[in-house]
Structure 1
């Protein structure tokens, strides 16, 4: 298992890191300094990579869409800043989370500022030769992605132990809807915006959107598996975080469907470490880890199948690699 960029080695990632570093040099204002800290952390830049690759897959120019690619990361990082505050997680990507390093009030404001910066960044593409109509549509797509992300966040909070009483199948359906919103939103937004900015036709935009929907689900399903597969020193986040927040993740829900009484574990008052250990035992004993891994791989394969409608280019092949590696990564 590995990190995505280690396998892909995409030149676009270097371009994105360089552009991000140049854009966020830090000008002495505290908001900019905090944003720089958040944005230049050792993240994957996966969503910006998806945008530029989707652009190139329909024949567009990477250089013309770099501001929009960075905009997707602004939205993603802003959501992480807020998520860490909501979840009470003080560690992100192997170092102090933004609120732990700079205080909660300034972290919230910086997350808000990054969200507003999304739209001015996308608008920059018009000055680089992208038709204004495409820029406007990309703004609409990313705005909708942000709305869906928020809906997914709220829906995730509703997936609690009380929801288990409605039955395992109901909970799994609710999980899939939540994942399609919370994680799928930015995958879908990045890919669809990239295809639009690159001048893709309706069939190409539809294929790339379908790819993103399946890839987003695959990514989230595997992400839920990471606490049970990798050490927190590798993932950069405590493995017991979901347990501390009594969160019903994909393998936990599958374990519940297979007969494990995870509701008893989650209703208890044990410390997070003990709760996580009990959940690990449940997902292992029921085979939920293997079931979750198989479903994630299936979604990745469905994502790759959507790419059949695109011309066979290096960029289209890279999208396929991203989907495949998304379910083999360790962080």
Structure 2
């Protein structure tokens, strides 16, 4: 079920990484996180570098510039968005017992769970410190608003994570609460990276709120995209095991759509597969066949595209600019790479 031509770093993202903003971010990460004998910083460096797509900090910089701000003034906050994102990945790998992250041993595997917990916490606090650092160039009121926006997103993220834990292995509950779960767990951080960028860039409350909505819808689309990657890409392309979601009993959107469309007999079997974490003989192949039979992957793609369109609609309030074009391009990339 792998889509021909899927790449982990598609051309649009490669071009973005080579842009002036991308070079600025990569250079600053290297400068701030050098090799060191300090164990805490060293593990944090392992988690952060080599950097991934840097999508979230890139969105922060371009949200700020799109409303008339200076990317250099919000650079520390943009880095902070990646710190928070990576912290959630470190903690997720503990919760899910995943062993791979970005194609290498996950932090809990490489350094142990206690160290992983501490490093994740360290990155969270450093994210808030990074926003405050912008106070050297940004009015205090804007900094305070950005800190509040990130704190609200962090609380939502925790609620989303807790809700996801409650849905494990339960497709009936998943069907009722999945959309709220991904809005909180993934949409909230995407909302924050755009909201923080807009606030620090000097946007008025209405424009900042519009960019926050753009981010939230994009985050929901991104989570659906991530759900799909287990079924349209190889582990080498995604950097994590193809069976990760089944192993964790996680009710992703393709599974939920399949459950909704399946016969009663197939529903019982799908629930059984989740309960045994996809470990039975032929479980993975059976699930793949069911998804094909009920067209669940295409159904998930349609929902993903719908949220991307709602995100794009929020950008119409922006004046034309190169940064507005980048934010538009990210929404288009989000859906095109799983088409």
Does TM, scored on the shorter chain, surpass 0.5? yes
Unaligned runs of 5+ in 2: 1-5
2:305 equivalent to 1:285 = no
TM superposition shift of 1:48: 0.6
Runs of 4+ in 1 over 4 A off after TM superposition: none
Aligned to 1:11: 20
Aligned to 1:148: 156
- Change in Cα spacing, 1:189 to 1:98, as seen in structure 2 (3 Å) is same
With normalisation by structure 2, the TM-score equals 0.91
Aligned to 2:255: 252
Aligned to 1:117: 126
RMSD after superposition: 1.7
Q: Give, in whole Å, the separation in 2 of the partners of 1:141 and 1:201.
A: 14
- Change in Cα spacing, 1:60 to 1:289, as seen in structure 2 (3 Å) is same
Aligned to 1:25: 34
Unaligned runs of 5+ in 1: none
Q: Give, in whole Å, the separation in 2 of the partners of 1:104 and 1:286.
A: 40
Q: Give, in whole Å, the separation in 1 of the partners of 2:55 and 2:193.
A: 10
Q: Give, in whole Å, the separation in 1 of the partners of 2:76 and 2:278.
A: 46
2:103 pairs with 90, 94, 99, which one?
Answer: 94
| Paired residues of 1:5 and 1:13 also in contact (CA < 8 A) | no
Q: Give, in whole Å, the separation in 1 of the partners of 2:192 and 2:253.
A: 23
- Change in Cα spacing, 1:272 to 1:233, as seen in structure 2 (3 Å) is farther
2:186 equivalent to 1:183 = yes
How many residues of Structure 1 are paired with residues of Structure 2 in the alignment? 324
Question: CA deviation digits over 1:223-245, x for unaligned, max 9?
Answer: 10001000000100001111001
2:210 pairs with 183, 198, 207, which one?
Answer: 207
| Paired residues of 2:43 and 2:119 also in contact (CA < 8 A) | yes
TM superposition shift of 1:274: 4.1
Question: CA deviation digits over 1:255-277, x for unaligned, max 9?
Answer: 11111422132234751784333
TM superposition shift of 1:163: 4.9
2:322 equivalent to 1:314 = yes
Q: Give, in whole Å, the separation in 2 of the partners of 1:29 and 1:273.
A: 46
Q: Give, in whole Å, the separation in 2 of the partners of 1:329 and 1:265.
A: 29
Q: Which secondary structure does the structure 2 equivalent of 1:43 belong to?
A: coil
1:157 pairs with 162, 165, 171, which one?
Answer: 165
- Change in Cα spacing, 1:193 to 1:37, as seen in structure 2 (3 Å) is same
| Paired residues of 1:255 and 1:286 also in contact (CA < 8 A) | yes
2:310 pairs with 302, 306, 314, which one?
Answer: 302
